[in-house]
């Protein structure tokens, strides 16, 4: 079924229409008087196709008690989102039930960590740190430093790291990396570098995430020479347990683009292929976005066609045309 929609007065005269009943005539003639701008809407096209409809996920619970717990937890999460305060909701819940199950609190923290709602993570953990009934341990300290790091709050990250030391928990690589990220996000690239160099000298051994963060800090702070030095050491050091991964290569390609070193960007792209590191749509977009030589663009495009499945290639082309 089709509908004809219009807004201002307009006379169409004769409009060919398909006959309602079969006859010798192929088309019927209808006189239609319209009002202004017109659009034809086919109602059948508006109906969602079966393959596009999302199937409702069937939830499976262990038993009735598990179902009640899950629904109660979701109610709690909704209340936190509505009020904008996690602690007030948790306090009310504790007063009503005289207790707060550990699983409920941990589930809430993990969920907000997954959602990257770091303000809620900080709020809950800072409150738990003051509660005598909660055993605030090493992982709580690490998560709190991580949350402050993601928020770029290096002052509070430093304070929590100091408290962690006082409580007999030596800072591990996750905590040190989180503090380094806090300084980087807070625009203190030199402080982030100091932590990184200290980790290189006396430990804990930097992880892949540590290298990803320090490279990003160097690039955003326009310290291209330092970023290149760290990257080249990883690339060429045979004794290093770590090798540059996809994210590190992407950051370096972006850096070379930012610095105008197009040849080095192409070289990094070629090294990725030599080392068997997967080249994704992000890789190709990063490389093609600054190319001014149409032959180079054509060569890269040919590589896309050879190395990527049809649908992923189609997705990339649509991204480039935006």
Q: Which of 187, 221, 256 is the last residue of a domain?
A: 187
| CB-neighbour burial class of residue 127 (10 A; exposed 0-12, middle 13-18, buried 19+) | middle
Please indicate, yes or no, if residue 319 is contained in any of the structural domains. no
Packed helices 138-151 and 102-114: angle between N→C axes, nearest 10 degrees: 30
- Report the pLDDT value the prediction gives residue 321, as an integer from 0 to 100: 43
Count: domains in the chain:
4
pTM, whole model, 2 decimals? 0.66
CA angle 274, 209, 116 (to 5 degrees): 125
Contacts of 109 (CB under 8 A, 6+ apart): 121, 124, 125, 143
User: DSSP class of residue 59?
Assistant: P
Q: Are residues 96 and 153 in the same domain?
A: no
Query: Residues 123, 152: one domain?
Result: no
Please indicate, yes or no, whether residues 269 and 211 belong to a single structural domain of this protein.
yes
Same domain, 131 and 160: no
CA nearest to 111, candidates 85, 87, 82, 76: 76
Q: Do 110 and 144 lie in a common domain?
A: no
Answer yes or no: is 305 within a domain.
Answer: no
Arithmetic mean of pLDDT, 85-96: 92
- Can you say whether the dihedral through the CA atoms of 60, 64, 68, 73 is positive or negative? negative
Domain for residue 195, yes or no?
no
> Is the pLDDT at 154 greater than 60, yes or no?
yes
Mark whether 123 and 159 lie in a shared domain.
no
113 and 146 part of one domain: no
Residue of higher predicted confidence among 259 and 28: 259
Both 211 and 226 in one domain: the answer is yes
Domain boundary among 120, 154, 187: 187
Per-residue pLDDT band at 322 (split at 50, 70, 90): very low
Lowest mean pLDDT among 57-71, 140-154, 163-177: 57-71
List % helix, strand, coil for the chain (3-state, nearest 5).
65, 10, 30
pLDDT band at 86 (very low <50, low <70, confident <90, very high): very high
142 assigned to some structural domain: yes
Q: Are residues 255 and 241 in the same domain?
A: yes
Q: How far apart are CA 16 and CA 18, in angstroms?
A: 7
Give residue 53's pLDDT.
Answer: 60
Of 230, 231, 220, 210, residue with least CA distance to 275: 231
With a cut of 80, say whether residue 31 has pLDDT above it: no
223 with 270, same domain? yes
Structural domain that includes position 211? 207-277
Give tens-digit pLDDT for 97-135.
888 889 889 999 999 999 999 999 999 999 999 999 999
Q: Is residue 43 domain-shared with residue 101, that is, in the same domain?
A: no
Do 131 and 142 have their domain in common?
no
Question: Is the residue at 322 inside a domain?
Answer: no
Give the E-state strand segments of the chain in sequence order: 2-6, 10-17, 28-34, 38-42
Residue 202: inside a domain, yes or no?
A: no
Average pLDDT in the chain: 79
Q: What is the pLDDT of residue 227?
A: 93
pLDDT at 85: 93
16 in a structural domain: yes
232: in domain: yes
């Amino acid at each position: 079924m089709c509908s004809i929609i219009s807004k201002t007065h307009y006379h169409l005269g004769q409009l060919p229409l398909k006959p309602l009943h079969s006859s010798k005539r192929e088309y019927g003639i209808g006189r239609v008087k319209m009002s202004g701008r017109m659009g034809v809407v086919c109602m059948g096209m508006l109906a969602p196709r079966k393959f596009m409809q999302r199937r409702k996920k069937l939830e499976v619970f262990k038993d009735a008690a598990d179902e009640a717990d899950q629904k109660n937890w979701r109610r709690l999460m909704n209340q936190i989102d509505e009020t904008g305060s996690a602690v007030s909701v948790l306090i009310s819940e504790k007063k009503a039930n005289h207790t707060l199950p550990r699983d409920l609190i941990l589930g809430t923290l993990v969920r907000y960590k997954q959602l990257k709602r770091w303000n809620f993570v900080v709020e809950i953990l800072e409150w738990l740190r003051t509660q005598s009934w909660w055993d605030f341990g090493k992982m709580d300290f690490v998560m709190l430093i991580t949350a402050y790091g993601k928020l770029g709050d290096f002052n509070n990250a430093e304070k929590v790291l100091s408290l962690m030391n006082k409580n007999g928990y030596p800072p591990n690589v996750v905590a040190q990396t989180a503090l380094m990220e806090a300084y980087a996000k807070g625009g203190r690239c030199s402080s982030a570098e100091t932590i990184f160099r200290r980790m290189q000298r006396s430990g804990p051994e930097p992880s892949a995430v540590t290298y990803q963060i320090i490279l990003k800090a160097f690039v955003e702070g326009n310290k291209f020479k330092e970023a290149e030095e760290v990257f080249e050491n990883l690339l060429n050091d045979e004794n290093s347990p770590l090798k540059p991964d996809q994210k590190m290569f992407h950051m370096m390609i972006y850096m070379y683009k930012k610095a105008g070193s197009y040849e080095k960007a192409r070289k990094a792209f070629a090294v990725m292929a030599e080392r068997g590191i997967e080249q994704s749509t992000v890789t190709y977009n990063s490389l093609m976005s600054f190319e001014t030589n149409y032959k180079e663009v054509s060569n890269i495009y040919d590589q896309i066609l050879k190395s990527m499945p049809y649908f992923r290639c189609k997705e990339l082309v649509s991204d480039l045309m935006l």
